[in-house]
Amino acid sequence: MDAARHRSFLPHSRRVRDHPGVLRHFLAPVVPKAAASLSLPRTLVTGTGGVALTFDDGPHPEGTPAVLEVLARAGARATFFVIGEQVERRPALVAEAAAAGHLIGLHGYHHRLQPRLSRRGVREDVARGVAAIEDAVGAAPVWHRPPYGIYSPAGLRAARSAGLRPLLWSRWGKDWRKFTTPRRIAGRALAAILPGDVILLHDADFYSARDSYKHTIAALELMTSELKARKLDTVLPV
Ligand SMILES: [Zn+2]
């Protein structure tokens, strides 16, 4: 996310903000050392030989089918970090993605910043999200990425005790922005890309600029052919 957008998530209370334990959770999505100190992976385990495409915020009635189509044409695989309440609205779409060989991870039941939820609220959010995915695809998710990549200490405990493994990202296209282009998204996401990188994209515009997924879909076309040219496979986290 943008630095300014990220700063706006920082707790307003100085006492909370300056507490190193809390601050690390906020910085994890943008400061690799903070993520490492919480054992939050940003990349795949080494030796996977490919890159992971990840799509947050869906399923979306237009964005998700369009992304699935581009992936199918390219023979690429991806991980979808879905929102439970959106899964309940269109479970068949999530089942279709899973049946096509993609992985379904949990983003949250609601798209809410974890540190703004109570301890109980965040536990419920994780549990309801897991249940929504189980109902849709018949299996519980393994991977979890919180909204904005920001865990609260209670949220991280809740995810881990539900058996979920956190996965942040190491590359992004900043595809949620209103003023961007497919070429800029693809260029930013693939600049200096290495095997093991995890790319953050969005197949929905529920929580970002309207129609932003349309740029993402066009960017995905560019990215899949560029990855092919560089002989980089798309892989799922293991
Ligand atoms: Zn999100």
Query: Ligand 1 centroid vs 56 CA: distance in angstroms?
Result: 5
Query: Ligand 1 centroid vs 92 CA: distance in angstroms?
Result: 21
In this structure, what DSSP letter does residue 135 have? H
Domain ranges within the chain, ordered by starting residue = 41-234
**Three-class secondary structure of residue 198 per DSSP:** strand
pLDDT of residue 23: 85
Residue 56 annotated to the active site: yes
Q: Given CATH 3.40.50.150, say whether it is the number of domain 41-234.
A: no
pLDDT of residue 136: 98
Query: Ligand 1 centroid vs 231 CA: distance in angstroms?
Result: 29
**Three-class secondary structure of residue 175 per DSSP:** coil
Query: Ligand 1 centroid vs 14 CA: distance in angstroms?
Result: 26
pLDDT of residue 22: 75
Query: Ligand 1 centroid vs 214 CA: distance in angstroms?
Result: 16
Distant-in-sequence, close-in-space partners of 157: CB < 8 Å, separation ≥ 6:
none
Q: At what angle do helices 212-229 and 182-190 cross, to 10 degrees?
A: 50
Determine the straight-line distance between the first and last CA of the chain, rounded to whole angstroms. Answer: 25
**Three-class secondary structure of residue 80 per DSSP:** strand
pLDDT of residue 144: 98
Contact 110, 83 (CB under 8 A): yes
Query: Ligand 1 centroid vs 178 CA: distance in angstroms?
Result: 15
**Which tokens go with 227?**
């990855």
| Active-site pick, 202, 203, 205, 215 | 202
Name the β-bridge partners of 199.
53, 171
pLDDT of residue 45: 81
pLDDT of residue 10: 58
- Low-confidence stretches of the chain (pLDDT < 70) are 1-21, 46-47
Burial, 202: exposed, middle or buried (Cβ in 10 Å; 0-12, 13-18, 19+)?
buried
In which residue are the tokens 């093991």 written?
196
pLDDT of residue 2: 54
Query: Ligand 1 centroid vs 111 CA: distance in angstroms?
Result: 6
Query: Ligand 1 centroid vs 211 CA: distance in angstroms?
Result: 15
